[in-house]
Amino acid sequence: MRSIILEKSETLRDTGAAIGIRANGWRALDQLGVASELRHKAVTIPRIRDVWIDVGKQEEIPEVGELRCMKRNDLIKILADALPPGTVRFGCQIVSVNMDQENAYPTLRLYDGKSIQAKVLIGCDGSRSIVAEFLGLKTAKPFSLLAVRGLANYPNGHAYPHEFTRMRRGKIMVGRIPITNNLVYWFVLQQSTQSDENLTHDPETIKRSTSNIVSGFPSDVIEMIEGAEVDSLSLTHLRHRAPWDLLLTTFRKGTVTVAGDAMHVMGPFLGQGGSAALEDAVVLARCLGQRIRAEDLSNGGRQILIDEAGEAIDQYVKERRKRVVALSTRTYVTGLLLETRSQLVKFAAIVLLAILFRDPISHTKYDCGRL
């Protein structure tokens, strides 16, 4: 089946600055055939270090499996280069999806007024997905947390160890992870009740306000943020799909489904958003490949194609539901720890994590299987 990718932007986007790929994500990239090239783009991160500045406490999580952080545009470019020429169509913003009443195929209406009819539609259009809206999914819920993300470049090299460091002071968390020996990705999580409409997108304002927020952190953290590449900075309101919504939602209508953040947007607390989306790609491709045959694509096989594609999507949803519910539950409870002011809720969250998720890296041991 010939596939096309409709991209809203006029070029490949790199929103988010960088992306962490856990061991399960690398298994998926191995199946997609691009892992070897990507591994040359980032150093390995063998451990995670948690630091509580207020109480002078540190904890280390050794042997976290294969973990690397890379520039998002490196990942996107290598994935795009692996596609057949002409697969990606830029400047295609979807405004609505409808089901054709005559042939039961989904029809996409674009911002420029054009329409495209697809045999199978997979919505990978993020947390504000138009395709998810067509499927009737509930709107992703906001955490009362904001995330600032950025890159810091050190032309002469940085002195940071190859580890993912998470520093907490009060209700502020700073994360730092080297990409190379000269480039570091960082993020700052903070509580906020601002609406999305009131968030600034001016990079200089973001840098200045973030520097003020981390004033009580070590000096190298402040210098890292003040030296950030301005065009890498972003400020976003964290969103998630509640675990119970993922458990109960129907993720298919005809031959339409969703993947990635459109399906299971979650907080970044486990660093699994990107890896889970890569798992989706492998599982969905496998399910479609096992069910759809070349003869189904002829005009005479239209109903057969609809039936087979529908069954393939059902199998995909069945395989992914248990996995994404577990990830979503873990990130949701972790998010509660960061945003709640209630000591009772915080205690309950700690107990749940201790009972349900004793192994801090169990979520990275998942294998999505062969393509």
pLDDT at residue 201, as a whole number: 85
Tokens at 226, concatenated: 């003040």
Interval 35-41 mean pLDDT:
97
C-alpha to C-alpha distance for 154 and 90, rounded to whole angstroms: 33
C-alpha to C-alpha distance for 183 and 228, rounded to whole angstroms: 10
3-state secondary structure of 50: strand
Confidence bin at 63 (pLDDT 50/70/90): confident
Q: CA angle at residue 9 from 260 to 36, to 5 degrees?
A: 55
Q: Is the pLDDT of residue 138 over 80?
A: yes
Under 8 Å between Cβ of 140 and 237:
no
Identify the CATH class of 142-240. Answer: alpha beta
pLDDT at residue 309, as a whole number: 94
CATH 3.50.50.60 location in the chain: 93-139+242-364
Residue-wise pLDDT for 67-76, tens only, equals 999 999 999 9
Interval 201-206 mean pLDDT:
91
Minimal CA–CA distance to 365: which of 23, 26, 69, 66?
23
C-alpha to C-alpha distance for 181 and 170, rounded to whole angstroms: 30
DSSP secondary structure, 113-172, as one string: S-EEE-SSEEE---TT-HHHHHHTPPPPEEEEEEEEEEEEE-TT-----SSEEEEEETTE
For 138, other C-beta atoms within 10 Å of its C-beta total 12
CA 71 to chain centre: 14
pTM recorded for the entire structure: 0.93
C-alpha to C-alpha distance for 99 and 121, rounded to whole angstroms: 11
For 275, other C-beta atoms within 10 Å of its C-beta total 27
C-alpha to C-alpha distance for 164 and 183, rounded to whole angstroms: 13
CA 134 to chain centre: 21
Q: Which amino acid, 60?
A: E
Tokens at 47, concatenated: 């451990």
- Beta bridge partners, 99, equal 106
End-to-end CA distance of the chain: 16
What fold does the segment set 93-139+242-364 form as a domain? FAD/NAD(P)-binding domain (3.50.50)
pLDDT at residue 146, as a whole number: 93
Mean pLDDT, all residues of the chain: 93
Residue-wise pLDDT for 148-186, tens only, equals 999 999 999 999 999 999 999 988 999 999 999 999 999
Give the count of alpha carbons within 13 A of 114, CB side only.
7
CATH 3.30.9.30 location in the chain: 142-240
Output the CA–CA distances (angstroms, integers) from residue 308 to 8, 131, 322, 338, 357, in the order listed.
29, 20, 23, 44, 37
C-alpha to C-alpha distance for 165 and 69, rounded to whole angstroms: 12
Residue-wise pLDDT for 205-261, tens only, equals 999 999 999 999 999 999 999 999 999 999 999 999 999 999 999 999 999 999 999
Backbone angles phi, psi at 99, to 5 degrees: -100, 125
Residue-wise pLDDT for 91-122, tens only, equals 999 999 999 888 889 999 999 999 999 999 99
